[in-house]
Amino acid sequence: MIAISNTYGYIRVSTRDQNEDRQLIAMRELSVPEKNIFLDKQSGKDFKRPQYKKLVKKLKPDDLLYIKSIDRLGRNYGEILEQWRILTKEKGIDIVVLDMPLLDTRRGKDLMGTFLSDIVLQVLSFVAENERTNIRQRQAEGIAAAKARGVRFGRPPRPLPENYHSAYQRWKAGAITGTAAAKECGMPLSTFRYRAEIYEKAKLL
């Protein structure tokens, strides 16, 4: 009995800033069955993705997998290369990267074709990961520059309750305990002590 090969599509989008429509349209234009389109909405930093795992389990030798671009598969250089090896060597499937015609394992099954495909894959994988690293570096530099200008990050502290000064003064004088003072102000003891440190510094300025 001859096994029937199937066509699949894999789509990954970031839930923060991307929409899957462009990738879905591309898969439908290639007549990929809807039931064979697998979609993950999460980061490409690793392969711990439920739909991707489900897809890999379904794949059989000679099946065909379409992805829109190499960074949809992932953004970690080593992981992309490892997954490509698993899919093409262990699973025995063909992969077509739509935005990069050279990455089509149906072509050039000879040694030279495989060599060229591997070279292109390694370069693109490196570029994808390098861009991710650069983005993180730019973000870190931007945050550092903003902090140097005095920009504060995170939620602003809640205003002190009206009775805080009175409770603080009696606590400092030893008239009441920190626990009692915190209770009067409606805050945990740790928060009361933390705000007391800030309050003392503000008084010294």
Which tokens hold the place of 43? 């980061």
The answer for residues whose C-beta is within 8 angstroms of residue 116's C-beta and 6 or more apart is 102, 108
Exposure class string for 116-129: b at 16+ Cβ within 10 A, else e: ebeebbeebbeebb
Q: Which of 14, 117, 125, 166 is catalytic?
A: 14
The answer for residues whose C-beta is within 8 angstroms of residue 84's C-beta and 6 or more apart is 73, 95, 121
Question: Residue 10 CB: number of other CB atoms within 10 A?
Answer: 25
Residue 125: active-site member: no
As annotated, the active-site residues are: 14
